[in-house]
Structure 1
Amino acid sequence: MKRIVMFAAALFVLAALPALGDEGGEKPGQTTFRAPVDADGVQRVELVGGDYFFRPNRIIVRVNVPVELRVRKETVLVPHDLVVNAPEAGIDFKIDLEREPAVIRFTPTKAGSYPMYCDKKLLFFPSHREKGMEGVIEVVE
């Protein structure tokens, strides 16, 4: 019986974590970043994930120009990841977001609009994507 009570208490705590938010941060609205091409020919973008958003949540990059996407999360306890599944455009990755930045490198090969999202989910609750943690990478000519 004691194990059941402890298990139920642990589930309650885990369910309450998303409600704690971003340590004082606020959920932003639509944020767009048009990546400039640096002197070395690379488009650099910094992306931050929080509960339940990406900032920026709309990234515009040029086709056939290398991209360096530096990603991290703001939250401490809630796990997040970043998923883009567009192999036809040269953009295909899934990475867990950490507090320390990680770098993703790719070269988009096809113009278009490609969804990015967090696919984390806790038991029977809506996924982070369903809660609004999604955005788009727009590849333009």
Structure 2
Amino acid sequence: MPALKMLLPALLLVLFGAATALADFVEKRHVATIDEDGVQRVEMEGGEYYFDPNVVVVKVNVPVELSIRDVGGIAPHDIVLHAPEAGIDFAVNYGREPVTIEFTPTKVGEYEFDCSKRLLFFRSHRDRGMHGILKVVE
């Protein structure tokens, strides 16, 4: 019984921490459409410390042009997504002028992207909210 009394507060602390982390992620979803030329175009903004949208839905086997630009702040940012098995593999620094990333997703699934930057001993940009999901669907 004493072990249970010690375990219960620890379990509640873990659950509270998980709920707090989930509460910080507010989904900003964009479902890409296929333009007349057969390309899915997505415009994304990166700021202090977020991506908008942070959930992007694209179709498999259809080319994607992802355009991203920085909309404020002084910290440098990048966007990183490594899923070579799905035809998606990039790590791109971006600034005030839009940068376009081209790829064709070849496998259905959910792939996480984030900003890999971190200043000294501070929390990483990912930990501060710069992450999202690329959903590839049929």
TM band (smaller chain) = 0.7 to 0.9
The correspondence of residues 1-141 of structure 1 with structure 2, limited to 5 A, is: 29-141=26-138
Structure 2: stretches of 5+ with no match in the other structure: 1-23
Q: Residue by residue, what CA displacement relative to the aligned partner does 1:114-139 show, whole Å, maximum 9, x if unpaired? A: 00100100000110001111000000
TM-score, normalisation: structure 1: 0.79
Kindly name which structure, 1 or 2, has the bigger radius of gyration based on alpha carbons.
2
Alpha-carbon distance in structure 1 between the residues aligned to 2:123 and 2:71: 21
Deviation at 1:28, TM superposition (A): 8.7
Q: Which amino acid counterpart does residue 79 of structure 1 have in structure 2?
A: P
Whether contact under 8 Å (2:45, 2:71) holds in the other structure is yes
Taking structure 1 as reference, are residues 45 and 139 closer, same or farther at Cα in structure 2, changes over 3 Å only? same
Alpha-carbon distance in structure 2 between the residues aligned to 1:78 and 1:134: 16
Q: Which amino acid counterpart does residue 63 of structure 1 have in structure 2?
A: V
Whether contact under 8 Å (1:28, 1:53) holds in the other structure is no
TM-score, normalisation: structure 2: 0.80
How many pairs align? 115
Give identity over the alignment, percent.
54
Alpha-carbon distance in structure 1 between the residues aligned to 2:97 and 2:25: 21
Structure 1: stretches of 5+ with no match in the other structure: 1-26
- Over aligned residue pairs, what C-alpha RMSD do you find? 1.4
